[in-house]
Amino acid sequence: MKKKNITFEDIANYTNFSKTTISRYFNNPDSLTLENQEIIAKALVELDYKENKVAKILASGKTEFVGIIIPNLYLHYYSEMLNHILSTYQTYGYKFLVFAGNSKEDIERQYIQELLAYKIEGMIVLSHTISSKELASYNLPIVTIEREDKYTCSVNTDNYMGGIQAASLLYKNNCDILIHVNVDVPPEIPAYGRIKGFLDLCGEHQIPHELILKDFGDTYQDNLNCIREVVEYLDQNYSGKKKGIFLANDTYANMLVNTLIRKHGSLPADYRIIGFDDSPISREAVIPTSTVGQQIDKIALAAMELLVVQMNERKKRRPVPLEKVVHKVIPPVLISRDTSGPF
């Protein structure tokens, strides 16, 4: 026989509370004493109550939805970050609505309006398109990751330390020239620290170096074409020299390794390569790639912890907003694999 759905009236009869009190337990539990909350919670277990999510949303306006705007999924860092954010459901119970950005402000604003229409309780933003000042204007709990964050709470890697670590590893391998390949990152973006760390290390030790900044485009094929151009440039301008190449992420590093192998039949002995992320591609590549690990799992968890604190505060009868935005920094971990050691 079909099991009877337990209603608020059933819970009220079972506990000798009014239906109004039961409703307050679901929609405003702080208005009840801890003793009464415990009585109702125990009754829900004994009655095997199955919560009607739609009814709860209609009654409280709280959807338990979090919006995510991510730049793309072809860069392995973003897909790995998304995977770890989604896995926090087991800890916090929030569901996620995800949009992949396309670097167009009007389109990403439409994404945000769509998310707001679904009554999201908070948002995690990795896309760089919309300024943090505009994001803050939506008056919604927001945490950003690895992007400009003057007006929003954020979680970032210590990118400067990562740049130092990458350049140091290549320097210790006695490379004749160190080269950093990246996009032209503005100073207000956390990833600029990778460039600054690289340049400072090279300057401190008077190491010959070059900074190659390119527009890598918005697709995987655009990225690959740029890496192929870099390979041709390096082979022509630094032939016979031991080259230490530090790339902005593991996807670029893997593309570089694959391009060199296709061109030369194997990874040339005069190349030492390190990426940035420790996304799965660095471990699973044909030649496992050295990298600066961003501890993506810790960043994702820290971002959700920071967001949940803000969302929970909003649910209180007298919420106290943060006095100032919070910026958390996660230290990187240098991981030396086959592409930076002797071979």
Kindly report, residue by residue over 83-107, the tens digit of the pLDDT.
999 999 989 989 999 999 878 899 9
Q: How far is CA 31 from the centre of its chain?
A: 36
Summarize the confidence of residues 63-81 as an average pLDDT. 91
| Pairing mode of beta strands 95-100, 65-70 | parallel
Q: How far is CA 51 from the centre of its chain?
A: 31
Q: Identify the residue whose tokens are 């993506």.
A: 296
pLDDT at 238: 95
Does residue 61 have a pLDDT over 60? no
Q: What percent of the chain has pLDDT over 70?
A: 95
**Taking all residues of the chain, what is their mean pLDDT, rounded to a whole number?**
91
Of 50 and 15, more confident: 15
Does residue 261 have a pLDDT over 80? yes
Does residue 52 have a pLDDT over 90? no
Long-range contacts of 53-59 (CB under 8 A, 24+ apart): 56/26, 56/27, 57/119, 59/23, 59/26, 59/27
pLDDT at 2: 47
Indicate the burial class of 228 (C-beta count within 10 angstroms; 0-12, 13-18, 19 or more).
Answer: middle
Does residue 272 have a pLDDT over 80? yes
Summarize the confidence of residues 228-253 as an average pLDDT. 95
**Tokens describing residue 87:** 């896995």
Summarize the confidence of residues 211-220 as an average pLDDT. 92
Tens digit of each residue's pLDDT (9 = 90 or more) over 315-341: 887 888 888 999 999 999 999 999 997
For the chain, which domains are there?
Answer: 8-60 (1.10.260), 159-293 (3.40.50.2300)
pLDDT at 53: 55
pLDDT at 329: 97
CA distance 192 to 248: 10
Of 63 and 232, more confident: 232
pLDDT at 64: 87
Does residue 4 have a pLDDT over 90? no
Please answer whether residues 201 and 207 qualify as being in contact, where contact means their C-beta atoms are separated by less than 8 angstroms: yes
Summarize the confidence of residues 191-208 as an average pLDDT. 97
In 3D, which of 261, 305, 256 has the Cα closest to residue 276? 256
Amino acid at position 334, single letter: L
CA distance 106 to 113: 11
Could you tell me where the DSSP H helices lie in the chain? 8-15, 19-27, 34-46, 53-60, 76-86, 89-92, 105-117, 132-136, 159-172, 192-204, 220-237, 250-264, 280-284, 296-314
Of 159 and 10, more confident: 159
pLDDT at 320: 83
Summarize the confidence of residues 292-302 as an average pLDDT. 96
Does residue 159 have a pLDDT over 90? yes
> What is the pTM for the complete model shown?
0.81
Q: Where is average pLDDT lowest: 61-65, 74-78, 268-272, 311-315?
A: 61-65
In 3D, which of 246, 234, 243 has the Cα closest to residue 277? 246
Phi (first) and psi of residue 271, to 5 degrees: -115, 130
pLDDT at 58: 47
Across 190-202, b (16+ Cβ under 10 Å) vs e yields bbbbbbebbbebb
pLDDT at 3: 54
Tens digit of each residue's pLDDT (9 = 90 or more) over 102-122: 788 999 999 999 999 888 999
Tens digit of each residue's pLDDT (9 = 90 or more) over 142-157: 999 999 999 999 999 9
pLDDT at 8: 84
Residue 63 burial (CB count, 10 A) = 16
pLDDT at 143: 98
Please, what sign has the CA dihedral across residues 213, 133, 326, 92? Answer: negative
What is the three-class DSSP state of 339? coil
